[in-house]
Amino acid sequence: MNVKFRSPSSNRVRTRSRLNSRPAVNLACLALALIASGFALPAPAQAQESPYIVTYDHYLEEPGSLEVEYFSTFGTQRGGNDFHAFWAELEYGATAWWTTELYLEGQTTFGESTIVTGFRVENRFRPLQREHFINPVLYVEYEQINGADKIMKEVEGHDVESDHAVPNALGRKEHNHELEFKLLLSKTFRNWNFAENTIATKNLTGGDPWEFGYAVGAGRPLVLRASAKRCSFCLENFVAGVEMYGGLGDRHSFGLHDTSHYLAPVVAWNLPSEWTLRLSTGFGLNDNSHRFLLRWGVSREFSGFGALISRFFGENKP
């Protein structure tokens, strides 16, 4: 069985700044509306999606396909209020070697407010098209987010739990424009996927040094042989694994001092209806980390999206 893994995307712990003073947009409703609108598109052949929330493997989106995703992170908070951060994600396979994504994100801090925290534009490039012993992917992302951002798409630098204790009224005033680079290394061997991500980020709005982080993951389907009948609860529809991620300091103080780290069992449920559900329970590994993170997500891939748009604009040319 040739198991295909693809990664969602993945969160960040940081004190950032305000981008917009308008009322917050309900990103959950937006994501569900986008997913619902996609029912007009043809459904793809089902593939085994990766269970990872933070770690990326080497699989890109199918060329011409659009994947619509919604993810949530609930985090406990010492010295502040617990929070629920969320983001909607549009992932498009531009070519066989290039996948691009747009993120819209926000958060609710209990007892405070719900706010929009910004957007990100991500691009992944796979230089080697065939499978190799190690499969590299280059990742480049631009972020325009504020200090109240709590989606924790990754952890880097000296990101720690106390960063999220800052009230929304203060955190949203800090603006950040960042470039993030990752080297993604991944291998699928005997139906196990092993992935490692090295992260480097530079804040363009201040004099902050380069910051570094990591994410590693391993996962595989629970059962390799498919059932004779189409079913939702068959074990071959489930992919389970574990991931670990954290910060590695910055250019001036590289290492584990004053950093946070997490270990998270993960599972993905690939439904025959072409939906994928993901669940992750994360546990902090040191005193700088949140004690508990609960993440979940829903996604659906629509094949032929690029061809549909091309036909639409072709038919409407003057």
User: What is the DSSP code string of 149-199?
Assistant: ----S---BT--GGGGGS-HHHHTT-EEEEEEEEEEEEEEETTEEEEEEEE
Q: pLDDT (tens digit, 9 = 90+) per residue, 42-83?
A: 434 445 789 999 999 999 999 999 999 999 999 999 999 999
Domain CATH number, residue 182: 2.40.160.40
Q: pLDDT (tens digit, 9 = 90+) per residue, 199-217?
A: 999 999 878 999 999 999 9
Examine residue 22 and state whether it is found in any structural domain, yes or no. no
Examine residue 83 and state whether it is found in any structural domain, yes or no. yes
Contacting residues for 34 by C-beta, under 8 A, at least 6 apart:
68, 88, 90
Examine residue 213 and state whether it is found in any structural domain, yes or no. yes
Q: 12-16, 71-75, 312-316 — which one is most confidently predicted on average?
A: 71-75
Q: What angle do CA 284, 53, 138 make, to 5 degrees?
A: 115
Task: Report the candidate in 56, 8, 48 with the shortest Cα–Cα distance to residue 224.
Answer: 48
Contacting residues for 38 by C-beta, under 8 A, at least 6 apart:
66, 68, 300, 302, 305
pLDDT band of residue 307 (cuts 50, 70, 90) is confident
Examine residue 135 and state whether it is found in any structural domain, yes or no. yes
Least confident stretch, 41-50, 213-222, 240-249, 307-316: 41-50
Domain count across the chain: 1
- The rounded distance, in Å, linking the Cα atoms of 65 and 42 is 10
- The rounded distance, in Å, linking the Cα atoms of 168 and 316 is 46
What are the backbone dihedrals phi and psi of residue 185, each rounded to the nearest 5 degrees, phi first?
Answer: -120, 130
Examine residue 35 and state whether it is found in any structural domain, yes or no. yes
In the DSSP assignment, the letter for residue 251 is: S
Select the more confidently predicted residue: 42 or 268: 268
Residue 64, strand partner residues: none
Count of CB atoms situated within 10 Å of the CB of 54: 29
273: which 2 tokens?
């209806």
Q: What is the dihedral of CA 249, 253, 254, 256, to 10 degrees?
A: -60
Examine residue 5 and state whether it is found in any structural domain, yes or no. no
pLDDT band of residue 316 (cuts 50, 70, 90) is low
